[in-house]
Amino acid sequence: MTFQTQTSFYNVFNFNTRADINDRMVTYWYEGYCPNTGKLLRLPRTHQIEAIARELMKCLAEDPIFSKEGKMYGVLLVETQNGNQVLRAFSGLLQGQSQKEGWVPPISGQEKLVLAENQTLAELEHIKQQILQLQFIPERQEYERLFKDFSQQLVELNLIHAQRKEDRKKQREFLFSHPQNEEIADQLNELQEQSKRDGMEKRRLKRQRDERLQPLQRSIQEADQTIQQLKQERKMRSRQLQTQMHCTYSLTNFAGNSLSLHQLMPQGLPTGTGECCAPKLLHYAATQGFKPLAMAEFWWGSKEQGKFYGACAERCQPIMGFLLSGLSKFDDIPKIKDDSLPIIYEDEWLVAIAKPAGLLSVPGRHSGKGDSALSRLRNLLADGMNLRSVHRLDQDTSGVLLFARDLESYRSLSRQFEQRQVHKIYDALLAGRMILSEGTINLPLWGDPSHRPYQVVDWQRGKPSVTKFRVISRGENDTQVEFIPLTGRTHQLRVHAADSQGLGMPIVGDRLYGVAKEGDRLCLHARELHFFHPRSGERMILRA
């Protein structure tokens, strides 16, 4: 990109955007929990930052080099002492280089590993060449050639022997039909000897085949074993380099704290962590004392050019809470309009909230049950009366709750729920220490009409109900479990957890199927909801 292009890109957007940032039409939230306070921290992707990103796309389109190399790019709008400024970053390397003029630099610490990285890369290249040589040793080609030749000879010999066998059969039939022949015994013996000679001929050919092929096969097996050893060595060296990088790369947040990637995720991080756009942008803004206003990441190049993405689940999301820590010192960072009803996603067709425990999803039938997530949203949003509830969460369950803003979106989402195309993930805390680590619960549920909403396991009248579970952690007297319901029955997770035919451990705080003290909340949280956007068809993953 030319200097003139860079300058025009920055000048176009160097204006105050406070009103736009406060706009509730946020397209995505970068968010994470502060590791010190546990507070949810959020940075928006707004319509305006997307417009800024599209201007960068125009600049990228001016140079064909950028279109050849598909990668992720990002922009971060920050407030400085001299006004607003746009920072931009690319993931990994750009045209083989980690640093380019006009782009934020890579995370500090990489320069310390240049020598070790180059040495390891050279070793990995040497191992690669060794593997290639072993994969194409001449014994492999010779084995394939001889195996093919001997196979063809056996086929031809089998055909000859089959014809001889058929001829001997006819000769025997003729001899047995003329018993007066005095030489019948000698002739039968001769036919028997011919059969033996055919068998010996076939065994001799197989023996020749084995004598030629077995040494080659041993060489190939030895080469394959060496290849496996080299691959293990390559894997080990790559991990060692990655561990060094994670120990050396240091990230700084807006609270002024710096930690290495290894300290942030001691259990291990995927390759490339710290090289994505979001960590680069946030780290740089924090070290420069800039105030972040909005951020966007998009793909440019070979596939899905111009598509916006959120924080990647494996590399960025686990460290997002740390990166955003300290945002509270900027008292005018965008906040949710109603803290009691946080909106986690919103566009023209959908609204999703993080429903708190104790709040109904929709108004109840009886008096005093009018307060609900739906009724609050209808009072909160200008088009609230058009909202339709797509699904529900129990009053005592917290988590992702989705609403449609028009009839067509409602019908599309409802079909996805009916056809079980929606993927749901719950977190639960069970009252007891589980021995099992994962499994599937398949218990039919039936609701007694005289005892609603209580559900019981009933093998005659119950409806199929299936839940997958996986243990996340174990305490002395409790177990944190991830539930994935494959069906959507009333109280399904609560019954599958508490019933003796299921896990036999009620969810902590469950007054209906377990034991709970007054004031205790049900420890069941709808953490994720996966579905297809009713208009764009894009795969959506909402988290609370």
**Residue 167 annotated among the catalytic residues of the structure:** no
Who's near 447: CB < 8 A, 6+ residues apart? 453, 454, 455, 456, 490
The residue from 394, 396, 499, 510 that is catalytic is 394
C-alpha 273: how far from chain center: 15
Residue of 429, 426, 430, 419 whose CA lies nearest to 401: 426
Q: Which two tokens stand for residue 96?
A: 């083989």
Q: Is residue 301 left, alpha or beta, with left meaning phi > 0 and alpha meaning psi from -120 to 50? A: left
3-class secondary structure, 1: coil
CB 324 within 8 A of CB 291: no
Rounded to whole angstroms, how far apart are CA atoms 444 and 123? Answer: 58
What does the DSSP 8-state code read for residue 143? H
Q: Are 532 and 516 contacting, i.e. CB atoms less than 8 angstroms apart?
A: no
3-state DSSP assignment of residue 320: helix
R_g over Cα of the chain = 35
Secondary structure percentages of the chain, helix, strand, coil, to 5: 40, 25, 35
d(CA 326, CA 41): 9
Task: Name the residues annotated as catalytic.
Answer: 394
